[in-house]
A and B are shown apart, each in its own frame.
Chain A
């Protein structure tokens, strides 16, 4: 299988704590891969390792066939990232942020301007062109970060919680954009806590729990292996060994 992301035994520790414990990811090219897990399971750490923000403590990685540890700049030219903290310069405008990213990726001025204008219009940020990111709402920041990730036309897109804090209209636009991107051969690796979105959008999923990969594969294959009619939510809860909370009652609440 032609893989966009391939890891073997990927590990990352912080002192005594193991955040990612030897995971073997296999993300096919052109897929929309949903990376799921409870809070603190290791999703963001995995993305940070894959995107070069954290050095793995062990294991190997390949992004589009390139080892990002051996050739980090070559690998970074192929990827776009929306990290969990959005990673934006507060003192730049959205247009200046895109200009910065475009120039770092070596885009010529005409291409940069054309793509920048299109992205700002699509994200509904063209009305706020003159404002600094410091003055943006959370949703505007997220859209700026997404626009910055898309600008260099990456082959592989990492999105950490892309729909959190985004309004319904922008959410629909972004979903359509991502589906279109995947149809054209782009690969998306996204994390989200909104399982309905993952179910509707993704064709592959991976579930990480306590730093270990609990399951991975095409979403339909994983479903067919489980009890018939199982929703993604039920499957997720089963894989991470969680209860639905019905067994726990706070008797004092509402009394």
Chain B
């Protein structure tokens, strides 16, 4: 059993190290690879001070509890918050990690190793999740704090509750990841499940707003009424008021620690036992999913009827049109692309709803719709940089097919820009409809000016994104969420380009309106800005095409993960 666990641990370690090591084909690729590692190392390093800080707070809080100090109470509130966050992340991360493609369990099933050992390895591997590692020192620090405060009995209960919490998180992560693997065996169901999860997560951020708006989302309220609604919503989330929240795992741990202190009236046994039972139940669910995964054959076949026609796009060559339609199809069919398209209008709708209730100034209310649309369009463009800033490598093996055909770099760059524009038009249209429905005010010429400025921003970012995608490609799979990110340098630079272009456009819009007070003048300036943007795009496109042609060999290899 131990030997098997060691072998599986060694396997995971080798996969990690080999993944980091990679290979180098040219200097640009070396820069690209080092910068990726640097970003990953920075993120990992950021966790260390966080873990130390949490451990220190936990130590002094537990020592205070042992001494009966009322100043230690906020530590328990903090512990609830941190553990709630880690529980949520542990629950969501495995789903995002699978992201629509089933993992291979065949190799595991062929090993002469008992399923119990394999499952144990799976459970233990979950404990290596960075979010769980973040809180483990804090859970031990609570034990040390009680010992330092001279209360060994409380320390023993805290240790038991801490182990139960760690076991719960490990079992939760394992159960969710294995259930996700089962669901994602069918690619289409997996994609739908992924989008549903992402939509739920996105919507979840607006639960507090929804709670405040229980009286009616379209109803206008005073500031006082808003404040009352916020207090009411906060009260609904208080475990003392809502009994169902008392049994949440983070509260069970906090209750066990609180009850372990000398002044407590509740016994720590019940919440600790509750946590342990939840861990065992989740481990059982994880075991069930694991067995199903090894036994049940994966489903692959899906039937649907699709129109294969590729229409020539006016102004583009047949080759560029073919590239454009393929780029568009990738965005609208991939998990990552669909998630971006489905989720980007959500914040816009929520902001539109909020502004509908809170904007009182007539001059601002007249611009609210235009602002909502512009914000939605910029947010969507920023989200789509995931695809645009890695537009060549996202094609994976398909990029080789493109390169095998008689397609020039110019055709590919133009086709990608046109395909991106078609995909980008979808969330823009959603934002426009939402803005027009929620805030149907403002001069038509101002709406037109906003749309033209959004087009101008797209025109400027398109060749920049192509240049970045050619210079810093990253192997990725848009069918998965976790493996769909662009190179960090390309992603950040593309995002900055969008924000700078948006700030410039927004500034020109505001200054012209403020200076002239004439919407038609704003429209005129927007037309001029669009012409300037077209000029910039025309100047940058050949450079992007040259960069693509110079890097074809590397791009094709990186796109396939080599």
Is B322 within 8 A of A103, CB to CB?
yes
Among B305, B329, B330, max chain A CB count under 10 A is at: B329
Interface size on B, residues (CB 8 A): 44
* Among candidates B309, B319, B326, B407, residue contacting A89 with C-beta atoms closer than 8 Å: B326
Q: Which of A115-136 contact B (CB under 8 A)?
A: 116, 129-132, 134-135
Is B479 within 8 A of A90, CB to CB?
yes
Interface residues of B (CB under 8 A from A): 25, 187, 300-306, 308-310, 312, 318-319, 321-323, 325-326, 329-330, 333-334, 395-408, 478-479, 552-553, 556, 560
Is A76 within 8 A of B308, CB to CB?
no
**Beyond A88-B398, A100-B310, 12 extra complex contacts between A and B, CB < 8 Å:** A14-B25, A51-B404, A72-B406, A85-B397, A90-B396, A90-B479, A91-B329, A92-B329, A99-B322, A101-B401, A103-B312, A135-B187
Is A104 within 8 A of B306, CB to CB?
no
Is B403 within 8 A of A99, CB to CB?
no
Is B301 within 8 A of A88, CB to CB?
no
Q: Cβ of A137: which chain B residues have Cβ within 8 Å of it?
A: 300
A96 to B311, CA, bound (A): 12
Number of contacts between A and B (CB, 8 Å)? 121
| CB of A213 closer than 8 Å to a CB of B | no
A136 to B552, CA, bound (A): 27
| CB of A148 closer than 8 Å to a CB of B | yes
| CB of A111 closer than 8 Å to a CB of B | no
Q: Cβ of B187: which chain A residues have Cβ within 8 Å of it?
A: 132, 134-135
Q: Cβ of B402: which chain A residues have Cβ within 8 Å of it?
A: 104
Is A90 within 8 A of B301, CB to CB?
no
The stretch of A52-60, A171-179, A196-204 that contacts the partner chain: A52-60
Is B301 within 8 A of A131, CB to CB?
yes
| CB of A223 closer than 8 Å to a CB of B | no
Known: A85-B400, A106-B318. A130 touches B304 (CB 8 A): yes
Q: Cβ of B553: which chain A residues have Cβ within 8 Å of it?
A: 53-55
Is B398 within 8 A of A87, CB to CB?
yes
Q: Cβ of B404: which chain A residues have Cβ within 8 Å of it?
A: 51-53, 76, 81, 83, 87
| CB of A231 closer than 8 Å to a CB of B | no
Tell me how far the C-beta of B4 lies from the nearest C-beta in chain A, rounded to whole angstroms. Answer: 23
Q: Cβ of A156: which chain B residues have Cβ within 8 Å of it?
A: none
Between A and B, 8 residue pairs with Cβ closer than 8 Å are A87-B398, A89-B401, A90-B396, A90-B398, A99-B322, A105-B405, A130-B304, A134-B479
Q: Cβ of B399: which chain A residues have Cβ within 8 Å of it?
A: 87
A72 to B412, CA, bound (A): 15
* Among candidates A54, A91, A130, residue contacting B330 with C-beta atoms closer than 8 Å: A91
Q: Cβ of A55: which chain B residues have Cβ within 8 Å of it?
A: 553
Q: Cβ of A132: which chain B residues have Cβ within 8 Å of it?
A: 187, 302, 333
Tell me how far the C-beta of B219 lies from the nearest C-beta in chain A, rounded to whole angstroms. Answer: 44
A208 to B402, CA, bound (A): 28
Known: A83-B400, A96-B306, A134-B479. A104 touches B330 (CB 8 A): no
